[in-house]
Structure 1
């Protein structure tokens, strides 16, 4: 049976249309678009944003486009080695092909918004990455103030303020309650370790820490200090209200004798190292040495008898060495990364996987070494009974093991590794 010519024509048209659809589908499927999940990133006015691209995308690279709010910032064409920077980003954006890194310098508040990076290769593939950047004002270092008690039985008050936030706490018997305050963009935390008060202000991009050693005007039975530092002893005014003579003694030897109305008598062995402030009733021994370790007594004579008003044991320790933090970068994204910390005769190390790192600790007779993690910030602290030193390493994992092994997206991270050491002496006794 022969087919009607109308049906034959219709069938031919259908096949032609189907072929056209298949061709368009083939062309569409030949362009692979991989878009990573959007992220939120935070930085500070005046700082620099570094975007490290996946180095595998350098293979058959054709073009890179960097856009902010759908407006072009930068384009780079590999074939012509042509870099074009669009207004108003002249002098502020860079592309380093050798390390495959995009840079936006001198950030301003108006840089807050949505960004997109597209990487085209000769195989007609497009790799895209979207992210949101928020540029914040820098935080101001907290101001810590201490209200000294009028007498030893009183409490002392510590206050901390930064920008529009303030907190305060009262301390009694070397116990102080931690305090916290928050606003829309800031967090202020005040807490105490021993006699050291620590106040930290932070936003989502940075933090600044201020510490204060509180002199509680009381003498403890044990005092720990460091070679080269000073010892301050604040005496209770009520205890020496009717004194005639005051003596400060080391073991059985006098260091200082003060008689009312007369000049200060200082032992030749302590000339230039000891002081007595009559207005605030404080004794000071400067430039401490290891040989200053031992028992001390403060005595007064009130014309009736000699009274011991303070007795304590001083231990002078060697200063600590700032911990050395090292980071072993993983060879591939599936590997773990290792962070090690050492100071003097102690060392600890920890392995990290999926941004999870186990805290570590090591001790010796006089030292304690602790390594812990807060987000991507590694903190290593070495301490003895007189002081502690903190070294911090802000690790930008550069894709590391925080990404899935087969992810094709670019990674955004800071090119810079910031290492800084904060030296803080914790005074056990005032």
Structure 2
């Protein structure tokens, strides 16, 4: 049987075996290694190949022969004759699709690996803008906008003297480019604006305590507490002065007696 007949069978014959796909996400311009999932099926095969989207052949191999990388993929892939894995390099959006490895053993073709590869651009930077801050005697509200090149979400946070929480607005959404845009309050008290997909992420943040101090300060103290605090400070300072004066007089008397 000629190689051309075998290739025709590879294109037209439906591969037997598992149909389970492994989903792989790769950043544009990077590389990925695709390994064989069923190594035990590689015994005594007549013909081996890696395909793209069922019909586009990347590389073929017959026993006791050198692998043949097809012209379209020359310098774009690396094939290992030791474990039959293939490395895809400098991946672009058009390289997204299903990659399968097949062995041909008369009378059937067996699928020994299947990967659904998605190539993604890195996400764009994200901006976090404070739209408004409103304070009252016992609470503080902050409204912010989390924005990317093609999308945005708004959210509101509320703080009292003890805690802060996310009260309203949007918490997350999927952008038009398919990435995830999220806004939340982390454990350290920062408002986080996060833009991410399966291959990259970026974020911006604001420390909420800088916008809504949670600890009482001079502006938030009641008049009674302020007066009490002033009296305490005055009394303490006066007491220190009196003790210092007594010690000074005592020391001067000692010096006089010595003379």
TM-score scaled by length of structure 2: 0.61
Q: What are the ranges of 5 or more consecutive residues in structure 1 without an aligned counterpart?
A: 1-30, 222-234, 241-299, 309-430
Query: Offset at 1:143?
Result: 2.9
- Aligned 8 A contact 1:159 1:169 in 2: yes
User: Separation in 2 of the partners of 1:162 and 1:62?
Assistant: 53
CA distance in 1, matches of 2:154, 2:98: 39
Give the aligned length: 201
Give the corresponding residue for 1:78.
Answer: 63
Bigger Rg, which one = 2
Question: Which residue pairs with 1:171 in the alignment?
Answer: 157
Q: Secondary structure at the match of 2:73?
A: coil
CA contact (8 A) 2:60 2:69 kept: yes
3-state SS of 2:40 partner: helix
Contact 1:32 1:124 in 2 (8 A): no
For residues 79 and 100 of structure 1, what CA distance do their matches in structure 2 show? 14
Question: Is 2:192 the counterpart of 1:198?
Answer: yes
Contact 2:67 2:81 in 1 (8 A): no
Q: Show the 5 A alignment for 1:189-338.
A: 189-194=182-187, 195-203=189-197, 205-208=198-201, 210=203, 212=205, 213-215=207-209, 216-220=211-215, 238=219, 305=230
Contact 1:67/1:116, CA 8 A, preserved across alignment: yes
The ranges of structure 1 where at least 4 consecutive aligned residues each deviate by more than 4 angstroms after the TM superposition are 129-132, 150-154, 305-308
Q: How far off is 1:108 after superposition?
A: 0.4
Higher helix share: 2
Residues 52-108 of structure 1: CA distance to partner in whole angstroms, max 9, x if unpaired? 10222332244321222422211223312x122222222121122334422111110
164, 180, 186: which is aligned to 1:187? 180
Conserved? CA contact 2:34–2:115, under 8 Å: no
- SS state at 2:72 partner: coil
Equivalent runs, 1:21-420 vs 2, <5 Å: 34-37=16-19, 39=21, 41=23, 42-53=25-36, 54-69=38-53, 70-80=55-65, 82-121=66-105, 126-128=109-111, 129=113, 132-146=116-130, 149=133, 154-173=140-159, 174-177=164-167, 179-184=171-176, 185-194=178-187, 195-203=189-197, 205-208=198-201, 210=203, 212=205, 213-215=207-209, 216-220=211-215, 238=219, 305=230
Q: Distance in 2 between matches of 1:239 and 1:32?
A: 75
Q: Aligned in 2, Cα 1:64/1:200: closer, same or farther, shift over 3 Å?
A: farther
Higher relative contact order (CA 8 A, sep 6+): 2
d(CA) in 2 for partners of 1:219, 1:57: 65
Distance 1:186 1:208 in 2: 9
Deviation for aligned residue 1:40: 7.2
Q: 1:259-285, CA deviations, whole angstroms, 9 ceiling, x for partnerless residues?
A: xxxxxxxxxxxxxxxxxxxxxxxxxxx
Once residues 217 and 33 of structure 1 are traced to their aligned partners in structure 2, the CA distance between those partners, rounded to angstroms, is 63
Distance 1:200 1:211 in 2: 7
User: TM-score, normalization: structure 1?
Assistant: 0.39
CA contact 2:157–2:166 (8 Å) conserved in 1: yes
Structure 2 residue matching 1:149: 3-state secondary structure? strand
| Superposition CA RMSD, Å | 3.7
For residues 59 and 32 of structure 1, the distance between their equivalents in structure 2, rounded to whole angstroms, comes to 20
Partners of 2:118 and 2:213 in 1: CA distance: 48
CA distance in 2, matches of 1:65, 1:307: 87
